[in-house]
Structure 1
Amino acid sequence: MEATATGTTAMTKTVAILHNATIVTMDSESRVFSNGGIVIEDDRIRAIGHSSSILYDFSSLAHQIIDLDGHILLPGLVNTHVHTSQQLARGIADDVDLMTWLHARIWPYESNMTEQDSYISTLLCCIELIRSGLFWAFDEGVCENVAHQVTCFAEAGGQHVSEMARAVELLGLRACLVQSTMDAGDGLPPSWALRTTDNCIQSQKELYMKHHNTAGGRIRVWFGIRQIMNSTDRLLLETRDIARELKTGIHMHVAEIAYENQHVVERRKADHGTVTYLEKIKFLQNNLLAAHTVWVNSAEINSLSRAGVKVSHCPASAMRMLGFAPIREMLDSGVCVSLGTDGAPSNNRMSIGSLNKQVKMKLVGKKLKFLVCCHSACGRVMAVHERIYLLAVDEMYLASLINKGREAFAKGTTDPTVLPAEVVLKMATIDGAKSVLWDDEIGSLEVGKKADLVVVNPSIWSMVPVHDCISSLVYCMRTENVVSVMCNGQWILKNKKILNVDEEEIISLAKRASMELLKRAGITIPHRMNVL
């Protein structure tokens, strides 16, 4: 059994034992206990080891002993790029290029959001995150479908951060929240175009002072830069300095599309693109989380590695609009790469009924075509009431397969060993925690860390039989395998029931709010077929 945390158990502390489980720790030794037990004292892990030892040493102290009956226990997944504010926009920007996606759909949508819209959108998003096993997520103002076991997320940047925080606190998740800031660029909505650099910086400082380390320490506030094409050098550099002073992070979309690099070369006279320019102005540092980071060359990958920049890889979103990110090369260079889902408008596959994701990959000459089975009924914004579950399953699965396929595209030969299951699971757990600067408390199941964990039932059709636990978690697990989710020592999903809110009420509010929001924004989704 692993050594226990120091100190004695006071009578006021709550002690629970979970045992008879396969425990995937994701610790530095990559230990897996085939019949393991874990002791949770209040919000932290007190001990972990073989079930027999755990029960022998701690049964007399336990207020609750739970037999997990052979289920799998793993750390809560970390989704490092989510736009919770975009959850009500699922389905409004399918099959369009990125600039149309931004200027004609997403910016009108976001700029017409009310505080209540943001609250409802975040609630809806977080329910999906919980049901998918997400304990932690990084929110950038829009959420995307993350497929399972998430307890933590990183927001990518919305406007109403206080409402995001209110929703996260209610539901019990862990999150890094940021405000989406822009002080330059063409085509911005009128209300955004009026913002000055001083406004952007002051607003973020106020949000940091108001919400950082709230909700019992579950909410942290970072600084957000939407993208380089909408940011002045002054905004970039002052954000860098303030974030460093406050010892917090920066979340930014980086090198998403080829046009971005072209824009930086032409407007800012960079030698190559965004990463080259950010290095030139000394913006790259180890508290920067760079989302997407698709269009980078080998020199820029080395720059990211030297600076300790973290990268959020969003495979589904990348395949829709962005391209093949050089993930293998980043990992080989020592870049910390994690997984994100992006927002609902850019990753909104709907698995109606069985949640059976239909992904087919075909090699045509030297081009890879990804055929993803989606459901978009007559242009209506549908999936609000369909349970589409977020990060773990889909993004882990896609990350491995897409990057294996990329080898064939890049080299003309296949390599099935690229991004194996154990590497992908690490990206979704401990490397996700490192990316959000929280690996001292989350990302692995270890003594002294926070009790953020997911209980998975492998005895469901989607995972039976389990010959290789790790590969089954990455390639076979579905949201229906997720039984319970704990964050900060508290169950937020127990026996498949969300504990802190009425799901049906949230769904009803979301359907109504989404329709009203699209009307205010003047967004009309054209019919794809002959609607009668």
Structure 2
Amino acid sequence: MQQILIKNGLVITMNSQRQVFDVGSVLIEGERILAVGRIAPEMIREDAEVVDARGKIILPGLINTHVHLSQQLARGIGDDVDLLTWLRQRIWPYESNMDLEDSYVSSLACCLELIKSGVTTFAEAGGQEVDGMGRAVTESGLRANLARSTMDCGIGLPTRWQESTQVALAKQEELFARWHGQAEGRIRFWFSLRTIFNNSDELITRTKVLADQYRVGIHMHVAEVLEEIQFARESRGLPTVEHLAKLGVLDSNFLAVHTVWLTDKEIDLFALHDVKVSHNPGAAMKVLGFARVPEMLDRGIPVSIGTDGAPCNNRMDMMSEMYLTSLIHKGRTLNPQVVPAEKVLEMATINGARCLLWEDEIGSLEPGKKADLIIINPQSPSSLPLHDPIANLVYAMNSSNIESSMCNGQWLMRDRQVLTLCEEEILQLAQERATALIKKAGITLPSRFPVLTNPPVA
């Protein structure tokens, strides 16, 4: 097995002691980390690849806990509208007209952006063409929890998506059998519930049974908008989270996304049942609201960070999301000490691993864990001087500072050059497919300014 020694860097381990080595090294053999910190010379083979990270930062790969691979080609079609307009008039027509190849190209484009922004692991919220997603993830070298967006009821569902509870569950089991454990173990399959708008109680409870049976998680949009809470009260008699608790699905393998409209009682329910949370600040600020993240962290709830999809956030960039996470809760609470930089870094690494039920293998740099890491170069006008590296990582740096990344012991990017995917080809394909897909879906976007197709000669 190949050995790789990354030496002389500032190693931020994110281990249980949160150790930092100012001139440290990481020794990798195969897909796992052998040693971190000061490494005995006899451990290093003569044929090891040596990377000098002097002046750079070595960090666990970032973990994005809420991604829509299939929405990457829809960037820009859902801006400045409310959520239900965004969903029913833009995204559903777009997604329901996708074919397998559209899904594959969209997923490739998304994986490309994730790699370049320092992500090594992500959780897919669920599209329809999972086989296209799995193919793209396999080629990209990333680690992922895949899922199928699952719905069995609701107003406005495209005809193509209308299916019974039994069919919805059976399709997920088929996909589990096909994808769980694939790509050298980098791919896991989870069960997904879209929202309470589109999930019957039977689907919710039977999904929980399957997730427990297969020992995986459930990924669900929860308490996303005020209209959802009103809908849950009217149709189920309780707000979303209280109803899910009544159904018995809140548990340590339940990942609740957004969670903007939570009561104190519901936060207590999350803490009681060890529910995991994905906080998506960019998407939330556009239309959803401000999640009560400081309150959840104070209750010991594992909160992680996600970007959501390209047509609601526009930026699939975890560095941007860390920055937003650090700021919006200070502004909401008028307390500059809430959600400090070190907590944000935890949310993007080890908390992300906990939320994806993968903390035994990823999320920190420790002997025995998978070799998922990034190398960050702070030598840029926006990042220096470097008085407080942790603070600068969150408050000053951006994705252009991510120089190299590795997943499962394999380089995904070196010196900003993606090695597993052809960037130029993917960008061209993405534009071509996106243009054709929007036309096929019949989506017409309003013109924001007059467009002159034949401008007059000056």
Moved over 3 A (4+): 59-62
Match of 2:292 in 1: 326
Q: How many angstroms apart in 1 are the aligned matches of 2:258 and 2:47? A: 45
> How far apart are the structure 2 equivalents of 1:56 and 1:506?
42
Aligned to 2:79, what secondary structure does the other structure show? coil
C-alpha distance in structure 2 between counterparts of 1:393 and 1:31, whole Å = 22
Q: Deviation at 1:306?
A: 0.7
Q: Does structure 1 conserve the Cα–Cα contact (< 8 Å) formed by 2:113 and 2:317? A: no
Q: Report the AA paired with residue 124 of structure 1.
A: A
3-state SS of paired residue (2:311): helix
Distance in 2, matches of 1:32 and 1:423, equals 15
Paired residues of 1:15 and 1:61 also in contact (CA < 8 A): no
Choose which of 134, 142, 166 in structure 2 pairs with 1:173. 142
1:348 maps to which of 287, 307, 314: 314
- Residue 112 of structure 1 pairs with residue 97 of structure 2: yes
Q: Which amino acid aligns with 2:48?
A: H
For residues 288-321 of structure 1, give each alpha carbon's deviation from its aligned partner in whole angstroms, at most 9, with x where no partner exists: 1000000000000000111111000000100001
Residue number among 199, 221, 228 corresponding to 1:253 in the alignment: 221
Say if 2:272 is the partner of 1:306: yes
* Correspondence 1:422 to 2:391: no
Shift of 1:177: 0.4
Q: Which residue of 1 aligns with 2:73?
A: 88
Tell me the SS of whatever aligns to 1:445.
Answer: coil
Q: Is the 8 A contact 1:16 1:62 kept in 2?
A: no
- Aligned position for 1:282: 248
Q: Could you give the per-residue CA deviations for residues 333-379 of structure 1, whole angstroms, max 9, x where no partner exists?
A: 11100000000010115xxxxxxxxxxxxxxxxxxxxxxxxxxxxxx
1:33 alignment partner, one of 21, 33, 41 = 21
On the 8 A contact 1:79/1:391 being kept in 2, the answer is no
Q: What is the CA distance between 1:461 and its match in structure 2?
A: 1.4
1:45 maps onto 2:33 in alignment: yes
Residue of structure 2 equivalent to 1:220? 188
What is the aligned counterpart of 1:507 among 415, 423, 427? 427
Alpha-carbon RMSD: 0.9
What SS does the aligned partner of 2:145 have? strand
Partner of 1:154: 123
User: In the aligned structure 2, how far is the partner of 1:334 from the partner of 1:206?
Assistant: 36
Deviation digits for residues 182-235 of structure 1 (CA, Å, limit 9, x no counterpart): 001111111112x11011000000000000010000000000000011011110
**Aligned residue number for residue 160 of structure 2:** 191
CA distance in 2: counterparts of 1:132 and 1:275, whole angstroms: 33
Q: Partners in 2 of 1:501 and 1:492 — Cα distance?
A: 8
Greater shift after overlay, 59-68 or 326-335? 59-68
> What's the offset of the Cα at 1:500?
1.8
TM-score (norm 1): 0.84
Letter in 2 for 1:316: G
Q: How does 1:46-61 map to 2 (within 5 A)?
A: 46-50=34-38, 54=39, 56-61=41-46
Which residue in 2 is equivalent to 1:17?
A: 5
With over 3 angstroms needed to count, the CA separation of the structure-2 counterparts of 1:476 and 1:55, relative to structure 1, is farther
Aligned length: 452
Secondary structure at the aligned position of 1:45 is classed as strand
- Aligned 8 A contact 2:3 2:45 in 1: no
Taking the aligned partners of 2:40 and 2:230, their CA distance within structure 1 comes to: 61
- 1:393 matched residue in structure 2: 319
Q: % of aligned pairs identical?
A: 52
1:495 pairs with one of 415, 418, 421: 415
| 2:115/2:413 contact within 8 Å kept | yes
Structure 2: runs of 5+ lacking an equivalent: 453-458
- Is 1:124 the counterpart of 2:44? The answer is no
Q: Which one of 321, 326, 338 corresponds to residue 304 of structure 2?
A: 338
Distance 2:332 2:439 in 1: 41
**Counterparts of 2:359 and 2:149, CA distance in 1:** 25
Kindly state the Cα deviation for residue 281 of structure 1 after the two structures are TM-superposed.
1.1
TM-aligned CA distance change 1:57 to 1:460, over 3 Å: farther
The 1-side partners of 2:40 and 2:274 are apart by 42
Q: TM-score, with normalisation over the residues of structure 2? A: 0.97
Shift of 1:59: 3.5
1:56 deviates by 2.7
CA contact (8 A) 2:306 2:318 kept: no
After superposition, what is the alpha-carbon deviation per residue over 1:11-36, rounded to whole angstroms, capped at 9, x for unaligned?
xx221211100000000001000000
Q: CA deviation at 1:60?
A: 4.1
> How big is the shift at 1:392?
2.4
- Looking at structure 2, the residues matched to 162 and 511 of structure 1 have their Cα atoms a distance apart, in angstroms, of 21
What letter matches 1:474 in structure 2? V
Whether contact under 8 Å (2:317, 2:399) holds in the other structure is no
1:241 matches 2:229: no
Taking the TM superposition and a 5 Å limit, the aligned residue runs for 1:472-483 are 472-483=392-403
Structure 1: runs of 5 or more not aligned: 1-12, 136-151, 350-389, 408-413
Work out whether residues 147 and 192 of structure 2, in 8 Å CA contact, stay in contact via their aligned partners in 1: yes
From 231, 238, 241, give the equivalent of 2:199. 231
In structure 1, C-alpha distance between the alignment counterparts of 2:18 and 2:290, rounded to whole Å: 29
Quick one: which amino acid aligns to residue 17 of structure 1? Answer: L
- Equivalent residues of 2:307, 2:318 under 8 A apart: no
| SS in structure 1 of the partner of residue 219 of structure 2 | strand
Does 340-349 or 237-246 show the bigger shift?
340-349
Question: How far apart, in 1, do the equivalents of 2:166 and 2:218 lie?
Answer: 17
Separation (CA, whole Å) in 1 of partners of 2:78 and 2:379: 38
